[in-house]
Amino acid sequence: MTLHRFYIDPAAWDPAQLILDEVESRHASEVLRLREGDLVSVFNGVGDEIHARLATPGKRCTVLKAESHHRSPPPGVQLLLAQAIPKGKNMDLVLQKATELGATGILPLLTERTVVRLGSAESAEKQEKWQRIVIEACKQCGRNHLPKVYPPQELADFLTKLPATGLCLIAALTPQARSLHEVLASLPIRPSSALVLIGPEGDFTPYELSASINCGCHPLSLGPIILRTETAAVYSLSVLGHELFR
């Protein structure tokens, strides 16, 4: 039986007294119409999951009684997606699919050809909204480790402080770009962490691509067909997962 899943922030996680916040409580009571005694699953995004029954349902606060505890091991490979923010709702799609495909972090990028422009207040609002989308994706796909959505950054700023990973890739259309299989074959050991940069509609500019390569990113070929930015993200995470998780 598939149980309805709910998220509790790690700071509020207490197996002896599990409490859903107002957002989750309203979803349970008004959308799903769950009642006292119904069995559900709750997780905290850092590996813990508990099957519990509704003890005190409510629209603002719901108290649960734990029945069984499960612990999921951490991801064997750390995958960070640095995604140029696409137009419309395509970023929502990228976040959902990145969560399903095992990304451990998603960093929204602002590049020279990024149409979307964000002020500081808008960036904070977007980050909060995007993190919520990731939570919902985890609830849907059964994942107990929550990917982190980082604040949006300018590509130039991001390149000055690239996170330490075993492999840094940038999707590229240039002749020197190689397949992931070729890139991995050139490395002395198989990496346990990877970062992939995906450009916007119109791709990275030649300067951005050159700057990324100079910072240690390997140009990655995604095949002979030009992909949409959201498709490129899904493709890249899929092949990385296939090669690195085995």
Contacts of 90 (CB under 8 A, 6+ apart): 228, 229, 230
Work out the pLDDT band at 71, boundaries 50, 70, 90: very high
Work out the pLDDT band at 246, boundaries 50, 70, 90: low
Condensed to tens digits (0 to 9), the pLDDT of residues 141-199 reads 999 999 999 999 999 999 998 888 889 999 999 999 999 999 999 999 889 999 999 99
Smallest Cα–Cα separation from 230: which of 201, 204, 202, 205? 201
Residue 35 clears pLDDT 70, i.e. is over it: yes
The reported pTM is: 0.92
Residue finishing a domain among 71, 92, 108: 71
Mean pLDDT score of the chain: 94
Longest dimension (CA), the chain: 62
Q: By residue range, what is the domain housing residue 140?
A: 78-244
Residue finishing a domain among 53, 71, 89: 71
DSSP-derived 3-state class of residue 151: coil
**Which pair of tokens denotes residue 193?**
């962490």
What pLDDT score was predicted for residue 115?
A: 83
What pLDDT score was predicted for residue 117?
A: 81
- Are residues 108 and 66 part of one domain? no
